[in-house]
Amino acid sequence: MDIKEYIESGIIESYVLGLASPEEAAELESLGKQHPEIKQAVDEFALLIQQQAMQDSIMPPAEIKQQLMDALSDEFEAPKVLIMQPGGNKEETGDTKVKQLPSFSFWRTIAAASIILFIISAAMNVYYYNNYKSASDKYEALLIEKNSLQANNNTYQTKFSNLEQSINILQDSAMRVVKMPGVPGKQDNLATVYWDTKTKDVYVLANNLQQTPAGMQYQLWAIVDGNPVDAGLIGDCDGVCKMKNIPKAQKFAITLEKKGGSPTPNLKAMVVLGKV
């Protein structure tokens, strides 16, 4: 048989379009096994018809697909994991290039477990981050409190140190104590001068002095042979304040002067006076 003539006889078209009789179809299929060019001619025309039909596509109404999916819903199998082997000829049919993993449910379990662990992990991240934030805030607050306590502590230490010094001064056996009660009209005021008989240093303790008005300051005077000698301004010191060195004095007095002190006392503004 002339194969070329056979191929060009119209039998190929007849077969592909389903118009060949069962006998003609059987003959073509059997000849196709011996002559690959027959099979090739069938494939070529089939592809031509397919391309033509694809070009002539008419979209069916959209709801038909859903109706079909619903109608066949019981017939679908659960999706399977497929592995494509590389290098396979895509047009080759018959042999299986798609292989199913034997332990699919195992992998699905692993995948599900991974997702669950990931979600738990994410939740724990949020939880621990919140805890960290809270601890961090508390730490900041404690740090501020600690600094504040430290500052207070320093203040108290300074105060304590001053007071200790004052006590030491007061306890010194060489210290002469001069009480200065309030002058008439200001009797409720009281101050004390401590005068070191060895070093001649003078300390003053404001037992009870009225609050100075704004812009005014108390000034200590030593009365030496009837003349007032500046013995220093009473500042912000706590407890016993160290004043100027006074070698000799018969009396001590405190006057209210303008801030910065005066060279001579304003006697009208005398608050306390005491004899040595």
Residues within the interface to another protein (CB under 8 A): 8-11, 13-14, 16-19, 21, 29, 42-43, 45-50, 52-61, 64-65, 67-69, 71-72, 75-77, 79-80, 82, 84, 90-94, 96-98, 100
Judged by CB, which is closer to another protein: 2, or 76? 76
Burial environment of residue 195 by CB neighbours within 10 A (0 to 12, 13 to 18, 19 or more): buried
DSSP string, 99-116: EE-TTHHHHHHHHHHHHH
Residue 2 beta carbon to another protein: minimum distance, rounded to whole angstroms: 15
- Alpha carbon distance 192, 220 (integer Å): 11
Judged by CB, which is closer to another protein: 16, or 234? 16
Q: Are the C-beta atoms of 90 and 76 separated by less than 8 Å?
A: no
Judged by CB, which is closer to another protein: 66, or 121? 66
Residue 95 beta carbon to another protein: minimum distance, rounded to whole angstroms: 9
Residue 73 beta carbon to another protein: minimum distance, rounded to whole angstroms: 8
Residue 66 beta carbon to another protein: minimum distance, rounded to whole angstroms: 10
In a 3-state reduction of DSSP, which class is residue 85? coil
Residue 94 beta carbon to another protein: minimum distance, rounded to whole angstroms: 5
Q: Which residues of 229-264 are buried (b: 16+ CB within 10 A; e: fewer)?
A: bbbbbbeeeebbbebeebeebebbbbbbbeeebeee
Judged by CB, which is closer to another protein: 97, or 242? 97
Judged by CB, which is closer to another protein: 24, or 238? 24
Q: Are the C-beta atoms of 81 and 107 separated by less than 8 Å?
A: yes
Q: If you count them, how many residues does the chain have? A: 276
Backbone φ, ψ for residue 245 (5° rounding): -80, 125
Judged by CB, which is closer to another protein: 82, or 115? 82
